[in-house]
Amino acid sequence: MINHCLCYFLNMSIRKIAGHDLAPGRIIKDHIHVDGTEIHVPHVIISGAADGPVLLVTAGIHNAEYVGIQAAIELSSEIDPEYLAGTLIIVPLANTSGFENRTMSMVYEDGKNLNRVFPGDENGTASDRLAHLIFNTFIRHADAFIDLHSGDGYEELFPYVYFLGDTACEEKSAAMASCVNTEFVVRSRCRTGGAYNMASVNGIPSVLIERGQLSQYPREEIDADKADVINIMKYLGMLKGVHTAYTKTPLFERELFSPATGCWYPEYHAGDTFFSGELLGTIRDYFGNTIHEIKAEETGIIIHQCASLNILKNGPMISYGVF
Ligand SMILES: [Zn+2]
């Protein structure tokens, strides 16, 4: 049973975001500058005709995860304020410099992973400053937060959704996660670094949706992302209509990092299940000699894994879920 009560929303009367005066029915499309950098963050603020919660949707925190970016761009032109209750803030591309310099999801200026440095630091490097701006200008004003991700250029991925456990807003985050049309949900325990993680720690119900892979952006994945956001908006009471709560299989995530740099030969694909003791993949040197065999220590399902020939020491290798 999902709690429909919206009384936990605190920011219903907010009237100013990112320096913009908000007024019912108004749509703002603008960029905001990150101090001490050349970075500008595009954002769209859609103020509904009726009162309601503030929902933030971000994409492109990892700039090569294109499904979410395209879904956010399309949503920002498709939500009509006349039929909206509350305020929808969309940041369609958080890491513009990575996108424009075609990094594989790192911030171009400092090579950092933006989703490891939240809530950021206004005196830090470009990533720290960017995270600080996103956190303080947008996330802090939200009553609910959706962060859209997918598989990077080197990553296979099977769709699922995260929420953070052990927080005051866990029940609401879990209810939002149930609105996402995926088979699996991961209850995370990571309380540092990530945008949705830090939002949740600060009491803002949040989910991270993972859909799409290998930096591809097929139409059906984009549409599925958009449908998830709209379904969550119905749950939040921002759009008319009855939301759908999808039955989910909960997973606990295990992350394996590569013991060496070399060539990578996985045995399975994302979405495949395996048994404890099975070979998951092999790392070979540049002469074809095996240097590591990776064997499963548990039975599980691969939710995302490295799918490029190259693999990097201490870099992501396989993330799997256990039931
Ligand atoms: Zn990501």
Higher pLDDT, 1 or 86: 86
* 273 SS3 class: strand
Tell me: pLDDT of 1 over 50.
no
User: 77 CA to middle of ligand 1, Å?
Assistant: 23
* Residue of 92, 77, 24, 93 whose CA lies nearest to 52: 24
User: 133 CA to middle of ligand 1, Å?
Assistant: 19
pLDDT at 14: 61
pLDDT tens digits, residue range 56-66?
999 999 999 99
Which pair of structure tokens corresponds to residue 13? 């009367």
CATH fold, domain 251-322, is OB fold (Dihydrolipoamide Acetyltransferase, E2P) (2.40.50)
pLDDT tens digits, residue range 297-322?
999 999 999 999 999 999 999 999 99
Which pair of structure tokens corresponds to residue 95? 């890491």
CATH fold, domain 16-247, is Aminopeptidase (3.40.630)
User: 310 CA to middle of ligand 1, Å?
Assistant: 19
**DSSP secondary structure letter of residue 91:** E
pLDDT tens digits, residue range 231-247?
999 999 999 999 999 99
Mean pLDDT over all residues of the chain? 95
User: 148 CA to middle of ligand 1, Å?
Assistant: 8
Please state, for a pLDDT cut of 90, what percent of the chain lies above it. Answer: 94
User: 51 CA to middle of ligand 1, Å?
Assistant: 32
- Are 179 and 235 contacting, i.e. CB atoms less than 8 angstroms apart? yes
- Common-topology check for domains 16-247 and 251-322: no
Mean pLDDT of the 255-271 span: 98
Mean pLDDT of the 215-241 span: 98
pLDDT at 7: 41
Mean pLDDT of the 67-71 span: 98
User: 220 CA to middle of ligand 1, Å?
Assistant: 19
**DSSP secondary structure letter of residue 3:** -
* Residue of 323, 319, 321, 322 whose CA lies nearest to 294: 319
User: 61 CA to middle of ligand 1, Å?
Assistant: 7
Residue listed under structure tokens 């609910």: 144
User: 50 CA to middle of ligand 1, Å?
Assistant: 33
User: 22 CA to middle of ligand 1, Å?
Assistant: 30
- Are 62 and 70 contacting, i.e. CB atoms less than 8 angstroms apart? no
User: 5 CA to middle of ligand 1, Å?
Assistant: 31
User: 112 CA to middle of ligand 1, Å?
Assistant: 13
| Cα–Cα distance, 187 to 169 (Å, whole number) | 13
pLDDT tens digits, residue range 71-115?
999 999 999 999 999 999 999 999 999 999 999 889 999 999 999
Residue listed under structure tokens 């219903």: 12
Which pair of structure tokens corresponds to residue 77? 């032109």
Residue listed under structure tokens 């065999």: 293
Q: Domain coordinates of the chain in residue numbers?
A: 16-247, 251-322
| Cα–Cα distance, 170 to 105 (Å, whole number) | 28
The confidence band for 8, taking pLDDT boundaries of 50, 70 and 90, is very low
Residues surrounding ion ligand 1 at CB below 5 Å? 62, 65, 149
